[in-house]
């Protein structure tokens, strides 16, 4: 028996995203507008706990993935900070036949080529956050 997939579950934070506090209401408005523009069925967002580096809500969404088309994040900056954490997310999504989208950046992840792009962006973000080396003051 094949499970009917229904919609894209939103995912928002109640903590800072890349150093900025973005109200959940604003995150949800962006998700709703993105879903409407892309003609995706938007499902009410799951909100991550305020605790630093917590991904308990995101991890709990794994059980719901078989019934979803995918997850819709407000931003790429909400991904787990570790390569291993992101890999677990990608593997769970792909094994359930789901996709991953980022509304703010208008990016979609549906295969390993897309994952490579996301991981390149994450590496660039890490490198750009480091202070320059070897510059004379």
Sorted by sequence, the CB contacts under 8 Å of residue 107 that are 6+ apart come out as 76, 101, 114, 117, 118
Structure tokens at 22: 């973005």
Whole-structure pTM value: 0.85
Reported as a single tens digit per residue, the pLDDT across 79-122 is 998 899 999 999 999 999 999 999 999 999 999 999 999 999 88
Evaluate whether 89 touches 80 at the Cβ level (below 8 Å).
Answer: yes
Summary mean pLDDT of the chain: 87
CA distance 106 to 51: 27
Reported as a single tens digit per residue, the pLDDT across 61-75 is 888 898 999 999 999
H/E segment holding residue 28:
helix 24-38
């Amino acid at each position: 028996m094949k499970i009917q997939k229904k919609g894209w579950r939103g995912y928002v934070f109640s903590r800072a995203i890349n150093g900025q506090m973005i109200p959940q209401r604003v995150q949800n408005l962006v998700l709703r507008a993105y879903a409407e523009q892309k003609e995706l069925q938007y499902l009410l967002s799951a909100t991550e706990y305020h605790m630093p580096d917590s991904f308990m809500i995101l991890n709990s969404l794994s059980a719901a993935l078989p019934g979803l088309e995918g997850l819709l994040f407000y931003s790429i900056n909400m991904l787990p900070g570790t390569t291993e954490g992101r890999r677990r997310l990608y593997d769970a999504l792909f094994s359930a036949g789901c996709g991953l989208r980022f509304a703010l950046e208008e990016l979609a992840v549906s295969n390993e080529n897309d994952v490579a792009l996301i991981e390149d962006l994450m590496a660039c973000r890490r490198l750009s956050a480091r202070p320059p080396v070897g510059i004379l003051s």
